Protein backbone atom coordinates (compact mmCIF):
# COMPACT_ATOMS: atom_id res chain seq x y z
CA UNK A 1 0.00 0.00 0.00
CA UNK A 2 1.01 3.62 -0.45
CA UNK A 3 1.43 5.19 3.00
CA UNK A 4 2.28 8.66 4.24
CA UNK A 5 3.47 9.31 7.80
CA UNK A 6 3.19 12.87 9.11
CA UNK A 7 5.77 13.48 11.81
CA UNK A 8 9.18 11.80 11.83
CA UNK A 9 9.84 11.87 15.54
CA UNK A 10 10.23 8.77 17.67
CA UNK A 11 6.84 7.20 16.86
CA UNK A 12 6.57 8.47 13.30
CA UNK A 13 10.00 7.36 12.15
CA UNK A 14 9.70 3.92 13.73
CA UNK A 15 6.24 3.49 12.22
CA UNK A 16 7.43 4.58 8.78
CA UNK A 17 10.46 2.31 8.76
CA UNK A 18 8.55 -0.72 10.05
CA UNK A 19 5.88 -0.30 7.35
CA UNK A 20 8.60 -0.01 4.71
CA UNK A 21 10.14 -3.24 6.01
CA UNK A 22 6.76 -4.90 5.48
CA UNK A 23 6.87 -3.87 1.81
CA UNK A 24 4.66 -0.78 1.76
CA UNK A 25 5.67 2.36 -0.15
CA UNK A 26 6.20 4.93 2.59
CA UNK A 27 6.60 8.70 2.49
CA UNK A 28 7.73 10.41 5.69
CA UNK A 29 6.61 14.04 6.07
CA UNK A 30 8.02 16.63 8.45
CA UNK A 31 8.19 20.44 8.57
CA UNK A 32 11.82 20.29 9.72
CA UNK A 33 13.84 20.52 6.49
CA UNK A 34 17.14 19.72 8.22
CA UNK A 35 15.68 16.53 9.68
CA UNK A 36 14.28 15.50 6.30
CA UNK A 37 17.69 15.99 4.67
CA UNK A 38 19.32 13.93 7.43
CA UNK A 39 16.78 11.13 7.01
CA UNK A 40 17.11 11.18 3.23
CA UNK A 41 20.83 10.58 3.73
CA UNK A 42 20.10 7.56 5.90
CA UNK A 43 20.86 9.08 9.30
CA UNK A 44 18.30 8.87 12.06
CA UNK A 45 17.90 11.99 14.26
CA UNK A 46 17.06 9.76 17.24
CA UNK A 47 19.03 6.96 18.86
CA UNK A 48 17.21 3.65 18.64
CA UNK A 49 19.06 0.32 18.31
CA UNK A 50 18.83 -1.09 14.78
CA UNK A 51 16.95 1.86 13.32
CA UNK A 52 19.84 3.38 11.33
CA UNK A 53 20.63 0.10 9.59
CA UNK A 54 17.03 -0.64 8.62
CA UNK A 55 16.53 2.96 7.51
CA UNK A 56 19.47 2.64 5.12
CA UNK A 57 18.22 -0.70 3.82
CA UNK A 58 14.70 0.53 3.09
CA UNK A 59 16.03 3.71 1.48
CA UNK A 60 18.24 1.60 -0.77
CA UNK A 61 15.28 -0.57 -1.73
CA UNK A 62 13.22 2.50 -2.60
CA UNK A 63 10.58 1.56 -0.03
CA UNK A 64 10.84 4.80 1.93
CA UNK A 65 11.55 8.43 1.18
CA UNK A 66 11.13 11.74 2.98
CA UNK A 67 9.80 15.18 2.15
CA UNK A 68 8.59 18.45 3.66
CA UNK A 69 5.80 18.67 1.09
CA UNK A 70 2.54 16.90 1.93
CA UNK A 71 1.38 17.33 -1.68
CA UNK A 72 3.71 14.47 -2.54
CA UNK A 73 1.39 12.24 -0.50
CA UNK A 74 -1.58 12.77 -2.83
CA UNK A 75 -1.51 9.12 -3.92
CA UNK A 76 -1.35 7.80 -0.36
CA UNK A 77 -4.09 5.34 0.56
CA UNK A 78 -3.29 5.61 4.26
CA UNK A 79 -2.04 8.70 6.09
CA UNK A 80 -0.67 8.29 9.61
CA UNK A 81 -0.59 11.23 12.02
CA UNK A 82 2.35 10.79 14.38
CA UNK A 83 2.92 14.33 15.61
CA UNK A 84 3.84 15.17 19.18
CA UNK A 85 1.20 15.92 21.82
CA UNK A 86 3.31 17.41 24.63
CA UNK A 87 1.74 18.57 27.85
CA UNK A 88 0.78 22.20 28.25
CA UNK A 89 1.61 24.24 31.34
CA UNK A 90 -1.55 22.99 33.04
CA UNK A 91 -0.87 19.36 32.09
CA UNK A 92 -3.36 18.92 29.26
CA UNK A 93 -2.29 17.42 25.94
CA UNK A 94 -1.23 20.09 23.45
CA UNK A 95 -3.08 19.27 20.23
CA UNK A 96 -1.83 22.19 18.11
CA UNK A 97 0.35 19.99 15.91
CA UNK A 98 -2.43 17.44 15.52
CA UNK A 99 -4.98 20.05 14.44
CA UNK A 100 -2.48 21.53 11.97
CA UNK A 101 -1.85 18.09 10.49
CA UNK A 102 -5.58 17.38 10.18
CA UNK A 103 -6.11 20.68 8.38
CA UNK A 104 -3.28 19.89 5.96
CA UNK A 105 -4.73 16.44 5.30
CA UNK A 106 -8.16 17.94 4.63
CA UNK A 107 -6.63 20.34 2.10
CA UNK A 108 -4.71 17.52 0.42
CA UNK A 109 -7.78 15.28 0.30
CA UNK A 110 -10.03 17.94 -1.15
CA UNK A 111 -7.49 18.66 -3.89
CA UNK A 112 -6.82 14.96 -4.53
CA UNK A 113 -9.95 13.07 -3.42
CA UNK A 114 -9.82 9.28 -3.29
CA UNK A 115 -10.60 6.49 -0.86
CA UNK A 116 -8.20 7.30 1.96
CA UNK A 117 -7.80 6.31 5.61
CA UNK A 118 -6.49 8.78 8.16
CA UNK A 119 -4.87 6.97 11.10
CA UNK A 120 -4.24 8.87 14.33
CA UNK A 121 -1.30 7.21 16.07
CA UNK A 122 -0.41 10.16 18.29
CA UNK A 123 -1.48 9.79 21.91
CA UNK A 124 -4.56 11.99 22.23
CA UNK A 125 -7.33 12.63 24.78
CA UNK A 126 -10.37 10.41 24.59
CA UNK A 127 -12.81 11.82 22.05
CA UNK A 128 -10.17 13.39 19.80
CA UNK A 129 -10.66 10.86 17.01
CA UNK A 130 -14.43 11.35 17.01
CA UNK A 131 -13.97 15.11 16.95
CA UNK A 132 -11.58 14.74 14.01
CA UNK A 133 -14.13 12.62 12.15
CA UNK A 134 -16.79 15.30 12.66
CA UNK A 135 -14.49 18.13 11.56
CA UNK A 136 -13.50 16.17 8.44
CA UNK A 137 -16.96 14.93 7.50
CA UNK A 138 -16.94 17.21 4.44
CA UNK A 139 -13.99 15.17 3.10
CA UNK A 140 -15.80 12.46 1.19
CA UNK A 141 -14.28 8.95 1.22
CA UNK A 142 -11.95 9.87 4.11
CA UNK A 143 -12.13 7.45 7.04
CA UNK A 144 -10.72 8.28 10.51
CA UNK A 145 -9.10 5.54 12.60
CA UNK A 146 -7.52 5.53 16.05
CA UNK A 147 -4.52 3.18 16.17
CA UNK A 148 -2.42 3.91 19.28
CA UNK A 149 1.22 2.87 19.50
CA UNK A 150 2.77 0.74 22.24
CA UNK A 151 6.46 1.20 21.49
CA UNK A 152 9.11 0.83 24.18
CA UNK A 153 12.08 3.12 23.70
CA UNK A 154 15.18 1.00 23.24
CA UNK A 155 13.30 -1.75 21.38
CA UNK A 156 10.78 0.28 19.40
CA UNK A 157 11.56 -1.23 16.00
CA UNK A 158 11.16 -4.73 17.40
CA UNK A 159 7.84 -3.72 18.96
CA UNK A 160 6.62 -2.21 15.69
CA UNK A 161 7.51 -5.34 13.72
CA UNK A 162 6.27 -7.74 16.42
CA UNK A 163 3.52 -5.87 18.30
CA UNK A 164 1.99 -7.19 21.52
CA UNK A 165 -1.46 -6.21 20.21
CA UNK A 166 -3.07 -4.17 17.46
CA UNK A 167 -5.76 -1.77 18.62
CA UNK A 168 -8.00 -0.31 15.93
CA UNK A 169 -10.76 2.16 16.70
CA UNK A 170 -13.01 2.67 13.69
CA UNK A 171 -16.67 3.06 12.77
CA UNK A 172 -16.73 1.49 9.32
CA UNK A 173 -16.02 -1.93 7.90
CA UNK A 174 -14.07 -0.29 5.07
CA UNK A 175 -11.59 1.34 7.46
CA UNK A 176 -11.14 -1.89 9.39
CA UNK A 177 -10.46 -3.78 6.15
CA UNK A 178 -7.79 -1.22 5.20
CA UNK A 179 -6.05 -1.65 8.55
CA UNK A 180 -6.18 -5.44 8.24
CA UNK A 181 -4.54 -5.20 4.82
CA UNK A 182 -1.95 -2.74 6.09
CA UNK A 183 -0.96 -4.98 9.02
CA UNK A 184 -1.36 -8.34 7.27
CA UNK A 185 1.35 -10.77 8.23
CA UNK A 186 1.71 -9.46 11.77
CA UNK A 187 1.03 -12.11 14.39
CA UNK A 188 -0.67 -10.25 17.22
CA UNK A 189 -4.07 -10.15 18.95
CA UNK A 190 -6.49 -7.63 17.43
CA UNK A 191 -8.93 -5.42 19.30
CA UNK A 192 -11.41 -3.74 16.97
CA UNK A 193 -13.43 -1.19 18.85
CA UNK A 194 -14.53 2.43 18.93
CA UNK A 195 -12.09 5.31 18.56
CA UNK A 196 -12.77 6.44 22.13
CA UNK A 197 -12.04 2.96 23.53
CA UNK A 198 -8.81 2.77 21.56
CA UNK A 199 -7.69 6.14 22.91
CA UNK A 200 -8.46 5.17 26.49
CA UNK A 201 -6.67 1.82 26.11
CA UNK A 202 -3.49 3.75 25.39
CA UNK A 203 -3.79 6.08 28.37
CA UNK A 204 -4.94 3.31 30.71
CA UNK A 205 -2.05 1.04 29.71
CA UNK A 206 0.59 3.66 30.48
CA UNK A 207 -1.14 4.71 33.69
CA UNK A 208 -1.29 1.12 34.95
CA UNK A 209 2.36 0.45 34.18
CA UNK A 210 3.29 3.68 35.95
CA UNK A 211 1.22 2.54 38.94
CA UNK A 212 3.14 -0.74 39.17
CA UNK A 213 6.44 1.15 39.19
CA UNK A 214 5.33 3.58 41.89
CA UNK A 215 3.90 0.76 44.01
CA UNK A 216 7.24 -1.04 43.96
CA UNK A 217 9.09 2.18 44.77
CA UNK A 218 6.89 2.75 47.82
CA UNK A 219 7.42 -0.88 48.82
CA UNK A 220 11.17 -0.34 48.43
CA UNK A 221 11.04 2.49 50.96
CA UNK A 222 9.36 0.16 53.43
CA UNK A 223 11.82 -2.60 52.59
CA UNK A 224 14.75 -0.28 53.33
CA UNK A 225 13.37 0.29 56.84
CA UNK A 226 12.49 -3.36 57.48
CA UNK A 227 15.82 -4.71 56.27
CA UNK A 228 14.22 -6.85 53.59
CA UNK A 229 15.18 -7.15 49.91
CA UNK A 230 12.62 -5.71 47.50
CA UNK A 231 14.21 -7.55 44.54
CA UNK A 232 13.43 -10.89 46.19
CA UNK A 233 9.97 -9.67 47.13
CA UNK A 234 9.22 -8.56 43.56
CA UNK A 235 10.48 -11.89 42.19
CA UNK A 236 8.15 -13.77 44.51
CA UNK A 237 5.25 -11.51 43.54
CA UNK A 238 5.91 -11.86 39.84
CA UNK A 239 5.63 -15.65 39.93
CA UNK A 240 1.91 -15.20 40.55
CA UNK A 241 0.31 -15.44 37.10
CA UNK A 242 -2.26 -12.85 38.17
CA UNK A 243 0.53 -10.32 38.74
CA UNK A 244 3.40 -11.17 36.38
CA UNK A 245 6.98 -9.94 36.58
CA UNK A 246 6.92 -6.93 34.27
CA UNK A 247 7.36 -3.41 35.72
CA UNK A 248 7.93 -4.66 39.27
CA UNK A 249 11.47 -3.29 39.56
CA UNK A 250 12.07 -0.65 42.18
CA UNK A 251 14.35 2.21 41.18
CA UNK A 252 14.65 5.98 41.05
CA UNK A 253 11.34 6.56 39.28
CA UNK A 254 9.99 6.58 35.74
CA UNK A 255 10.67 9.23 33.13
CA UNK A 256 10.61 9.57 29.37
CA UNK A 257 8.13 10.99 26.91
CA UNK A 258 5.12 8.81 27.75
CA UNK A 259 4.39 7.97 31.37
CA UNK A 260 4.80 11.48 32.84
CA UNK A 261 2.75 13.33 30.23
CA UNK A 262 0.15 10.59 29.71
CA UNK A 263 -0.61 10.22 33.42
CA UNK A 264 -1.11 13.98 33.89
CA UNK A 265 -3.19 14.17 30.70
CA UNK A 266 -5.44 11.36 31.96
CA UNK A 267 -5.84 13.13 35.30
CA UNK A 268 -6.78 16.36 33.54
CA UNK A 269 -9.29 14.54 31.36
CA UNK A 270 -10.88 12.90 34.40
CA UNK A 271 -11.07 16.21 36.25
CA UNK A 272 -12.79 17.83 33.29
CA UNK A 273 -15.50 15.19 33.60
CA UNK A 274 -15.81 15.48 37.38
CA UNK A 275 -14.01 12.23 38.16
CA UNK A 276 -11.16 11.94 40.69
CA UNK A 277 -8.45 9.38 39.95
CA UNK A 278 -6.89 9.43 43.43
CA UNK A 279 -4.73 6.35 42.83
CA UNK A 280 -3.17 7.91 39.74
CA UNK A 281 -2.58 11.16 41.65
CA UNK A 282 -0.62 9.16 44.23
CA UNK A 283 1.34 7.39 41.47
CA UNK A 284 2.62 10.73 40.21
CA UNK A 285 3.32 11.97 43.74
CA UNK A 286 5.42 8.91 44.56
CA UNK A 287 7.30 9.17 41.29
CA UNK A 288 8.10 12.85 41.79
CA UNK A 289 9.53 12.16 45.24
CA UNK A 290 11.45 8.96 44.45
CA UNK A 291 14.66 10.61 43.13
CA UNK A 292 14.72 12.83 46.22
CA UNK A 293 14.21 9.82 48.49
CA UNK A 294 17.11 8.11 46.76
CA UNK A 295 19.27 11.22 47.04
CA UNK A 296 18.55 11.31 50.77
CA UNK A 297 20.00 7.81 51.11
CA UNK A 298 23.26 9.32 49.87
CA UNK A 299 22.95 12.20 52.34
CA UNK A 300 22.46 9.71 55.16
CA UNK A 301 25.95 8.38 54.42
CA UNK A 302 27.59 11.69 53.45
CA UNK A 303 25.73 14.45 55.34
CA UNK A 304 27.97 17.20 54.00
CA UNK A 305 28.32 16.82 50.24
CA UNK A 306 30.04 20.18 49.70
CA UNK A 307 33.26 19.57 47.78
CA UNK A 308 32.70 15.81 47.67
CA UNK A 309 33.23 14.16 44.28
CA UNK A 310 30.20 12.10 43.24
CA UNK A 311 30.10 9.91 40.14
CA UNK A 312 26.75 9.64 38.31
CA UNK A 313 26.43 6.69 35.93
CA UNK A 314 23.70 6.98 33.29
CA UNK A 315 21.70 10.08 32.35
CA UNK A 316 19.04 8.97 29.85
CA UNK A 317 15.70 7.97 31.38
CA UNK A 318 16.39 4.34 30.42
CA UNK A 319 19.11 2.36 28.58
CA UNK A 320 19.33 2.21 24.78
CA UNK A 321 17.86 5.66 24.20
CA UNK A 322 19.09 9.24 24.09
CA UNK A 323 15.82 10.51 25.59
CA UNK A 324 16.33 12.66 28.72
CA UNK A 325 12.76 13.92 29.01
CA UNK A 326 11.71 13.69 32.68
CA UNK A 327 14.83 11.59 33.35
CA UNK A 328 15.36 10.98 37.11
CA UNK A 329 19.06 11.77 36.60
CA UNK A 330 18.17 15.42 36.02
CA UNK A 331 16.60 15.73 39.47
CA UNK A 332 19.51 13.91 41.10
CA UNK A 333 22.05 16.17 39.35
CA UNK A 334 20.13 19.23 40.53
CA UNK A 335 20.10 17.98 44.14
CA UNK A 336 23.82 17.17 44.04
CA UNK A 337 24.75 20.57 42.67
CA UNK A 338 22.52 22.34 45.18
CA UNK A 339 24.37 20.48 47.94
CA UNK A 340 27.73 21.67 46.58
CA UNK A 341 28.95 18.31 45.29
CA UNK A 342 31.50 18.03 42.49
CA UNK A 343 29.75 15.85 39.94
CA UNK A 344 31.35 13.61 37.33
CA UNK A 345 28.89 12.00 34.93
CA UNK A 346 28.92 9.36 32.20
CA UNK A 347 26.35 8.33 29.62
CA UNK A 348 27.26 6.73 26.28
CA UNK A 349 24.56 8.61 24.32
CA UNK A 350 22.75 11.30 26.33
CA UNK A 351 25.65 13.26 27.87
CA UNK A 352 25.63 16.02 25.26
CA UNK A 353 21.94 16.78 25.78
CA UNK A 354 22.34 16.88 29.56
CA UNK A 355 25.43 19.09 29.30
CA UNK A 356 23.24 21.83 27.82
CA UNK A 357 21.22 21.79 31.05
CA UNK A 358 24.06 21.18 33.53
CA UNK A 359 27.21 22.76 32.06
CA UNK A 360 29.08 22.67 35.40
CA UNK A 361 29.06 18.88 35.57
CA UNK A 362 32.25 17.15 34.41
CA UNK A 363 31.34 14.72 31.61
CA UNK A 364 33.69 11.82 30.90
CA UNK A 365 33.91 9.42 27.98
CA UNK A 366 34.21 6.14 29.89
CA UNK A 367 32.35 4.88 32.96
CA UNK A 368 35.65 4.05 34.67
CA UNK A 369 36.78 7.69 34.43
CA UNK A 370 33.71 8.79 36.39
CA UNK A 371 34.85 6.83 39.45
CA UNK A 372 38.28 8.47 39.68
CA UNK A 373 38.63 10.14 43.09
CA UNK A 374 34.91 9.72 43.84
CA UNK A 375 33.63 9.68 47.41
CA UNK A 376 30.52 7.87 46.14
CA UNK A 377 29.06 6.58 42.88
CA UNK A 378 25.42 6.56 41.88
CA UNK A 379 23.91 4.30 39.20
CA UNK A 380 20.88 6.00 37.67
CA UNK A 381 20.57 4.31 34.25
CA UNK A 382 21.57 0.68 33.84
CA UNK A 383 23.45 0.84 30.56
CA UNK A 384 25.49 -2.34 30.15
CA UNK A 385 28.64 -0.20 30.06
CA UNK A 386 27.70 1.13 33.50
CA UNK A 387 26.91 -2.28 34.95
CA UNK A 388 29.65 -4.61 33.71
CA UNK A 389 32.77 -3.07 35.22
CA UNK A 390 36.20 -4.06 36.51
CA UNK A 391 35.36 -3.63 40.17
CA UNK A 392 38.90 -4.24 41.38
CA UNK A 393 40.07 -1.31 39.25
CA UNK A 394 37.09 0.80 40.35
CA UNK A 395 37.86 0.26 44.03
CA UNK A 396 41.45 1.37 43.49
CA UNK A 397 40.26 4.54 41.75
CA UNK A 398 37.66 5.66 44.29
CA UNK A 399 38.46 7.90 47.22
CA UNK A 400 35.77 6.12 49.19
CA UNK A 401 34.23 2.79 48.03
CA UNK A 402 30.61 3.82 48.50
CA UNK A 403 28.06 2.72 45.89
CA UNK A 404 24.40 3.71 45.49
CA UNK A 405 22.62 1.44 43.04
CA UNK A 406 19.49 3.22 41.79
CA UNK A 407 18.47 0.30 39.58
CA UNK A 408 19.53 -2.69 41.72
CA UNK A 409 21.68 -3.76 38.77
CA UNK A 410 25.16 -3.98 40.29
CA UNK A 411 26.34 -7.37 41.71
CA UNK A 412 25.78 -6.46 45.37
CA UNK A 413 27.04 -9.67 46.96
CA UNK A 414 30.24 -9.52 44.93
CA UNK A 415 30.72 -5.85 45.75
CA UNK A 416 30.25 -6.33 49.48
CA UNK A 417 32.80 -9.15 49.50
CA UNK A 418 35.22 -6.88 47.61
CA UNK A 419 35.00 -4.27 50.36
CA UNK A 420 32.51 -1.81 48.88
CA UNK A 421 29.76 -0.29 50.96
CA UNK A 422 26.67 -0.92 48.85
CA UNK A 423 23.16 0.51 49.05
CA UNK A 424 20.45 -0.43 46.57
CA UNK A 425 16.81 0.60 46.39
CA UNK A 426 14.96 -1.31 49.07
CA UNK A 427 17.73 -3.86 49.52
CA UNK A 428 19.11 -4.92 52.89
Q: For 156-208, how does the pLDDT look when each residue is reduced to its tens digit (9 = 90+)?
A: 999 999 999 999 999 999 999 999 999 999 999 999 999 999 999 999 999 99
Kindly report the pTM of this predicted structure: 0.93
Contact of 195 with 134, CB cutoff 8 Å = no
CATH of domain 2-193: 3.40.50.720
218 marked as binding residue: no
**pLDDT tens figures, 267-315:** 999 999 999 999 999 999 999 999 999 999 999 999 999 999 999 999 9
CATH of domain 227-423: 3.40.50.720
Contact of 81 with 105, CB cutoff 8 Å = yes
SS3 content of the chain, % helix, strand, coil (to 5): 45, 15, 40
* CA atoms of 317 and 381, how far apart (whole Å): 7
Asked if pLDDT for residue 322 goes beyond 80, the answer is yes
139 counts as catalytic:
no
* CA atoms of 172 and 334, how far apart (whole Å): 51
What is the mean pLDDT of the segment spanning 36-43?
Answer: 96
152 marked as binding residue: yes
pLDDT band per the 50, 70, 90 thresholds, residue 333: very high
- The active-site residue out of 82, 139, 258, 386 is 258
**Could you give the percent of the chain with pLDDT greater than 70?**
100
Q: Assess whether the region 2-193 and the region 227-423 belong to the same CATH fold.
A: yes
pLDDT band per the 50, 70, 90 thresholds, residue 69: very high
Contact of 331 with 291, CB cutoff 8 Å = yes
What is the mean pLDDT of the segment spanning 320-343?
Answer: 97
Residue spans per domain, the chain = 2-193, 227-423
195 marked as binding residue: no
92 marked as binding residue: no
Amino acid sequence: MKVAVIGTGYVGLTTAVSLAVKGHEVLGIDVDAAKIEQLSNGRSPIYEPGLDQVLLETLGQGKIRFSTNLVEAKEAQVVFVCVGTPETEDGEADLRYLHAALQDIATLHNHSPKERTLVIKSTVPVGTGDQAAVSLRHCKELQVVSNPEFLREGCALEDALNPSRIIVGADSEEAIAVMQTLYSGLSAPWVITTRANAELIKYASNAFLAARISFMNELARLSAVLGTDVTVVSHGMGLDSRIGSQFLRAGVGFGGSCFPKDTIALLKLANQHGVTLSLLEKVREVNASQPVWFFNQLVSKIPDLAGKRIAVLGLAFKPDTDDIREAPALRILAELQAAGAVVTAYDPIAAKAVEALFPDVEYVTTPEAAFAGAHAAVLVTEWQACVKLDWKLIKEQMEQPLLFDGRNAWPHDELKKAGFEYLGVGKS
